[in-house]
Structure formats: structure tokens, C-alpha cells
Amino acid sequence: MAMINESNVNKEGSLAKMKRIALIVLGFAVLCFFVGHYYKIIWLKAFSEAAMIGGIADWFAVVALFRHPLGIPIPHTALIPKNKDAIGQNLGNFVSDEFLIKEKLEVKIDEFNFAIKATTWLSTKDNATKIAGLVVENLIPGILKTVDDEDVRQFIQTQFEVKLQEMNFGEWLAAGLASLSKSEKQEQLISNMLKILSEELHDNKEVIREKVKKSTPWYTMGIVDKKLADGIFNGLYDFIDQAKVPNSLIRKRIDLYVVNFIEELKNSPEMQQKVNSLVIEFTQKKEVQDYISSIWEKLKTEVTTDLEKGNNSKIKMSLTTMICNFGKNLQEDPVMIAKINDFVKIDLLGILIRNKKAIGDLIAHSVKSWDKEEISNKLELEIGKDLQYIRINGTVVGGLVGLLIYAVEQFL
């Protein structure tokens, strides 16, 4: 919109300038008339009189196209405003009947080679940067402002839950454990787990003693508490120590338990459902839900912060590179070039041809909907500058013709 307004301002400036020049030329003719009349220069009077007549006549003709000269409703003036409906209809008919012709357009499309032109344009960095700029300055901020944050958060949560329901975490876990069991990492993992268990048991010794103390009858007077707790500790330590030995009976039982657990995960829908339920139950916790909801806010903040960097925006630079590469890759793909050209030639051209009457009617309707003064101003803005040359030429040529008539008269 800013570019259009700037263009109109430039056109208005050029039109006003040409009007001033035409008026100055006519004013010069008037000055010559007074000089010739005062000093009795007959040939100058002949020149200036004819020049004034030609200049004023052509001024009248030019102005009469767009409005009533001096605001006086003289017949056959303001031709464009009076005939705007007919102009619009004729323009629409011309476009649909003379321009939208399949055979002509096909030849032009083949000559133009739209795909090559478009891909060459896209692969130029300056053009790619312009497109990326439009996206990051208008499209993305517009989308961020338009979408409702709560709707997006709800959408993310809903999609997250749907995807979780579709996944079989039991199968995934079974496949992971099966792969682990076939490597030496299983033994290392079990050893690490036993080590951690032993350390946790040691660190929580006093907690366990307190629980044992609370569990024994009051009449024992705490005498058996220490022995009972020590017995539990010694038994657990002994179990863990034996389990740490690779070929011990306990270790083999643990390995067998792991194998049976994997097989059950593989073949038992009930076990798989339990695993899935545990995962889904975990994701329903408030902390997890809050984290999922915050994804959109974090993403939106990151995008907004990046876009504010202007030319240093990573999104803009990535889009520029992507557009350039897209254009270059298409240029090197003759099959895609042919498909794009065929699409333009067959599909888009077919749409235009099938709807050419509607296009003509649309043009005619658009022109009819314009205000009379609006269409007059639009057309004068587009062609008025050139029409001012008619006024200038009328003044100059009129003066020369007047001079020629005077010369012929003197000769005869």
C-alpha cells in the first residue's frame, strides 16, 4: 500500500509539472501577442493569435475528457465520467474477447517459459531476501497475533494425548530391553543398579531402624529393635553382595527375571497396557501438563525475539537460504520445470479461459462501481501527463500555422 501511494504521489507531481509547462507555453503566446500588438509586429501577432487559439482549443479538448471546463456543463464535455459504464463494459469485453484467447496465450506462455523465469528470480539472493522479509515482517507476526494462545495450548495438549494413546510403550520398552539383554550393557546396568541400591540402603539405615522400632511391640522395650534392624541390614547386604557376582545363583535369577519380563512385555497385551497406563498417568500430572502448556509460550517468545533482530534474524536468514536453494534445485530439475510450465499452460490457462466472461464482467462491474470523479482522476493520473503535450503542441503548431498563413497571405 505504501508503494502504491508513493507511486501515485510521483504521478501527481509529474502531471502537475506538465500542466505548468503547458500553461507557461500558452502564457508565452499571450505575451507575444501583446508585444506584437504594441510594437505593430504583424507576423508576431499572427503567430501569437494562432498559438493562443490552438493552445486554448487543445486545453478545452483535454479537460473535456475528464470534467466540465471551468465547471461549466457544456454539452459533450466530461466524456469519461459520463461514459464510464460503457468504458468499463468495453474494457471487460476487450480483455475477455481479445486478450483471453487460448491460442495466443499458449504461444506467449511457451515464449515466456514461466518456470525458468520464476526459478531464476527465486534463486537470486536479493529476491529471496525480499520474500523472506515479507514473511517475517507481515505473515508470521500476523499469525502470532491472530491465533488464540489458549486454543493453541489446548490443541497441543489434545494432540499430545492422542499421540500417546496411539503409541505402544510396552512394545518399545520390550524392544529396548531385548536389545540391551543381548549386549554386555545389561550386566553393567544390573551391577550399577545393585551398587546404587547398596548405597541407598547405607544412607537410609537410620530411617529403616526407626521404622523397625515403630513396628515392634512396646513390651520388647526396644531390646530386639537393634538386633532385628541389623539382621535386616545384614540380610540385604548379603543378598546384594551375592547378586553382584556374575555367575551367582541370585544373579542368574535376576537375569532370568529380566528375560521373562521382556517376553511378557512382548507377548502380553495386559502388560503392555499397564506400561502404557503408567506413562499416560505420568503425563497427566500437573507438572507435566504445565510443561506441555508452556511449549507454545516458549516457542512464541523465541520466534518473536528472533524476528525483532531484523536482518540478523535466524528465521529470516534460514528462509532466504531455503528459498534460494529451492529456486536453484528447481532450475536443475528439467522434469519439474516441465511440470510447472504444463501446470501454467494447461491448468491455470484453462481456468482463465473457462472464466474469461466472468473476468470481463468483473472488470466491467469494478469500473461501474467507481465514482465518476474517482475514475476521472484515475485515468487523468495515468494518461494526463502525456495529454499535456497535446496542449503544448497545439500552442506551438497553431502559432506556426498562423505564421504560415500570414506568409502565404503576404506572398499572394
Query: Do residue 26 and residue 152 come from a single domain?
Result: no
For cell 507555453, name the residue: 25
pLDDT tens-digit map of 336-361: 888 888 888 788 788 888 888 888 88
| Full residue range of the structural domain in which residue 73 is found | 2-82+370-411
Residue 47: what pLDDT? 93
Query: Do residue 129 and residue 77 come from a single domain?
Result: no
Amino acid occupying residue 71: G
- Neighbouring C-beta atoms of residue 125, cutoff 10 Å: 11
User: Considering 301, 323, 345, which residue would you say is the last residue of a domain?
Assistant: 323
pLDDT tens-digit map of 3-32: 456 677 888 888 899 999 999 999 999 999
Q: How confident is the model at residue 35 (pLDDT cuts 50, 70, 90)?
A: very high
Residue 377 forms part of a structural domain: yes
Q: Whose CA is closest to 8, among 384, 387, 397, 382? A: 382
Residue 205 and residue 190: Cα distance in Å, rounded? Answer: 22
Amino acid occupying residue 239: F
Q: Whose CA is closest to 121, among 327, 272, 397? A: 327
Q: Poorest-confidence range of 66-80, 145-159, 164-178, 289-303?
A: 164-178
The DSSP secondary-structure symbol of 204 reads: T
C-alpha cell of residue 31: 505575451
Q: Which residue has the higher pLDDT, 98 or 39?
A: 39
Residue 243 forms part of a structural domain: yes
| List of residues 6+ apart from 366 with CB closer than 8 A | 88
Residue 397: what pLDDT? 93
pLDDT tens-digit map of 211-238: 666 665 554 555 556 666 667 767 777 7
Q: How confident is the model at residue 88 (pLDDT cuts 50, 70, 90)?
A: confident
Query: Do residue 36 and residue 179 come from a single domain?
Result: no
Residue 177 has pLDDT above 90, yes or no: no
Q: How confident is the model at residue 55 (pLDDT cuts 50, 70, 90)?
A: very high
Query: Do residue 139 and residue 271 come from a single domain?
Result: yes
Q: How confident is the model at residue 183 (pLDDT cuts 50, 70, 90)?
A: low
pLDDT tens-digit map of 102-142: 777 778 777 778 888 888 888 888 988 888 888 888 888 88
Residue 3: what pLDDT? 46
Amino acid occupying residue 350: G
Residue 140 and residue 314: Cα distance in Å, rounded? Answer: 14
Q: Whose CA is closest to 328, among 154, 122, 76? A: 122
Provide long-range contacts, Cβ within 8 A and 24+ apart, for 173-176. 173/265, 173/275, 174/262, 174/265, 174/266, 174/272
Amino acid occupying residue 299: L
Query: Do residue 401 and residue 302 come from a single domain?
Result: no
The CB-side HSE value for 344 (13 A sphere, CA atoms) comes to 19
Residue 96: what pLDDT? 80
φ, ψ dihedrals at 258, nearest 5°: -65, -45
Residue 1: what pLDDT? 46
**Residues 265, 271 contacting (CB under 8 angstroms):** yes
Residue 222: what pLDDT? 56
DSSP of 286-313: HHHHHHHHHHHHHHHHHHHHHHTTGGG-
Q: Whose CA is closest to 29, among 368, 401, 407, 411? A: 401
Residue 6 forms part of a structural domain: yes
Residue 244 forms part of a structural domain: yes
Output the CA angle 54-56-59, nearest 5 degrees.
105
Query: Do residue 69 and residue 187 come from a single domain?
Result: no
pLDDT tens-digit map of 230-280: 677 677 777 777 777 777 777 777 777 777 777 777 777 787 787 778 777
pLDDT tens-digit map of 277-335: 877 777 777 887 777 778 888 888 888 888 888 888 898 899 999 999 988 888 888 88
pLDDT tens-digit map of 187-217: 666 676 777 777 777 777 677 667 666 665 5
Query: Do residue 74 and residue 163 come from a single domain?
Result: no
Residue 106 forms part of a structural domain: no
Query: Do residue 76 and residue 219 come from a single domain?
Result: no
Residue 29: what pLDDT? 93
With b meaning 16 or more CB within 10 Å and e meaning fewer, what string describes 183-202?
Answer: eeebeeebeeebeeebeeee
Q: Is 279 exposed, middle or buried (0-12, 13-18, 19+ CB in 10 A)?
A: middle
State the total domains in the chain: 2
The stretches of 135-248 forming alpha helices (DSSP H) are 140-146, 149-166, 169-181, 185-203, 205-215, 223-244
Q: Is 126 helix (H, G, I), strand (E, B) or coil?
A: helix
Query: Do residue 42 and residue 176 come from a single domain?
Result: no
Query: Do residue 148 and residue 287 come from a single domain?
Result: yes
Residue 341 forms part of a structural domain: no
Helices 169-181, 185-203: axis angle to 10 degrees equals 100
Residue 177 forms part of a structural domain: yes
Residue 212: what pLDDT? 62
CA end-to-end span of the chain: 64
Query: Do residue 11 and residue 148 come from a single domain?
Result: no
Query: Do residue 314 and residue 394 come from a single domain?
Result: no
Amino acid occupying residue 379: L
| List of residues 6+ apart from 133 with CB closer than 8 A | 316
Residue 282 and residue 291: Cα distance in Å, rounded? Answer: 13
The DSSP secondary-structure symbol of 379 reads: H
Q: Whose CA is closest to 271, among 281, 284, 280, 261? A: 261
Residue 119 forms part of a structural domain: no
Q: What percent of the chain has pLDDT over 70?
A: 86
Residue 200: what pLDDT? 72
Q: How confident is the model at residue 158 (pLDDT cuts 50, 70, 90)?
A: confident
